[in-house]
Amino acid sequence: MSLYDVWRYKVWEQLKTIGINDIIDIVLLSLMLYYVYKFIRDRRAGKLLIGLGVVVSILVLSYILRLKAITFIFENFFQVGLTAVIILFQPELRAALEKMGNTPLSITGIKRLGGDSGEQANVTEVLDSVCDAVFEMARSKTGALIVFERSTKLGDFTKTGVVLNAHISRRLLGNIFFNKAPLHDGAVIIRDFRVYAASCMLPLSSTDEITASLGTRHRAAIGISEVSDAVVVVVSEETGIVSLAVNGTLKRNYKRLTLKQELGNLLGTAPVKKDPPTDNSNK
């Protein structure tokens, strides 16, 4: 039988039986597998999944070779395996479900803070105030942790701090993070362009890939970005280096212009082309 005959009588006949329900089934399954892959990528779940793959391989091999003792042990292991996986992945599963529940149904999948021209101007004013304060603290090596709330609400974390609901200004942020101020120990959470709460406690990241030179403040920044879609600005107390945490990833060594551009892209403003000529920021 030629290759053409195989295509005509085998493949084509099977393809003709595919209906709209089968296409929907395949698309939904593909999307589900894709999001499962995104979930386990860059998390502890990825390494644990490799271990589970090894266990499954051993079980299949024991079936093929008829190794009764190993087959009995692993069959009983898999009977309680699902419960064990849920317990082990409880933090990751909770984070994933929280993100799913708070993700708006839009084309981009990201809630933008800036909408009409008035909101855009408001966001630009906020970014100017934040960047001024951040690099003023960077020069004086004052530690700071500033969280921009996006679509995922951070009410559980604002409850751990002091609610201010104040207008953002360079002086306010500088006073909050002054090392002798009562609210300096913790994070500031910005909601709807305002300093909503200060001295908030954030979850620490449990990943073992964070360099030892980074302290608790950076672990907290990565931790809150792992369980939400928040954008977090960090100023190191030891070095004055400015960092940004998004989606569990920390990027370091920002300058004023690059920080403002990145925040503008993430929070919904147009890219910033240049800073005012009077800028005395850390270049």
Residue 120 is predicted with a pLDDT of: 54
* 276 occurs within a structural domain: no
| pLDDT on residue 244 | 95
**In a shared domain, residues 135 and 257:** yes
Residues 222 and 146 in one domain: yes
Segments forming the whole domain that contains residue 79: 3-102
Angle between helices 90-102 and 216-227 (to 10 degrees): 60
Same domain (yes/no): 41, 136: no
Assess if residue 279 is contained within a domain: no
Q: In terms of domains, do 90 and 230 share one?
A: no
Residues 142 and 94 in one domain: no
Q: What is the CATH number of the domain that holds 225?
A: 3.40.1700.10
For residues 91 and 171, state if they share a domain.
no
Q: What pLDDT is stored for residue 160 in this prediction?
A: 92
In a domain, residue 275? The reply is no
Q: How far apart are CA 209 and CA 79, in angstroms?
A: 32
Are residues 123 and 97 part of one domain? no
Domain boundary among 102, 136, 166: 102
Report pLDDT for 23.
84
Per-residue DSSP letters for the chain?
--HHHHIIIIIHHHHHT--HHHHHHHHHHHHHHHHHHHHHTTSHHHHHHHHHHHHHHHHHHHHHHT-HHHHHHHHHHHHTHHHHHHHHTHHHHHHHHHHHHH---SSS----S--SHHHHHHHHHHHHHHHHHHHHHHHTT--EEEEE--SS--HHHHTTSEEEEEE--HHHHHHHHSTTSTT-SSEEEEETTEEEEEEE--PPP--TTS-TT--HHHHHHHHHHHHS--EEEEE-TTT--EEEEETTEEE----HHHHHHHHHHHHTPPPP----TT-----
Residue 82 is predicted with a pLDDT of: 65
Same domain? 134 vs 237: yes
Question: What integer pLDDT is reported at residue 105 of this predicted model?
Answer: 43
In order along its 283 residues, the chain shows pLDDT tens digits of 566 665 566 666 666 777 788 788 888 888 888 877 766 665 555 666 677 778 778 878 888 888 888 888 877 777 676 677 667 666 666 666 665 655 544 433 334 444 444 455 577 888 999 999 999 999 999 999 999 998 888 888 999 999 999 999 999 999 999 988 999 899 999 998 899 999 999 998 877 777 777 889 999 999 999 888 899 999 999 999 999 999 888 999 999 999 999 999 988 754 444 444 434 434 3
Verify that 150 and 184 share a domain, yes or no. Answer: yes
Tell whether 259 is covered by a domain. Answer: yes
Q: Looking at residue 215, what is its pLDDT?
A: 87
* 162 lies in the same domain as 238: yes
Q: Same domain, yes or no, for 127 and 193? A: yes
Give how many domains the chain has, as a whole number: 2
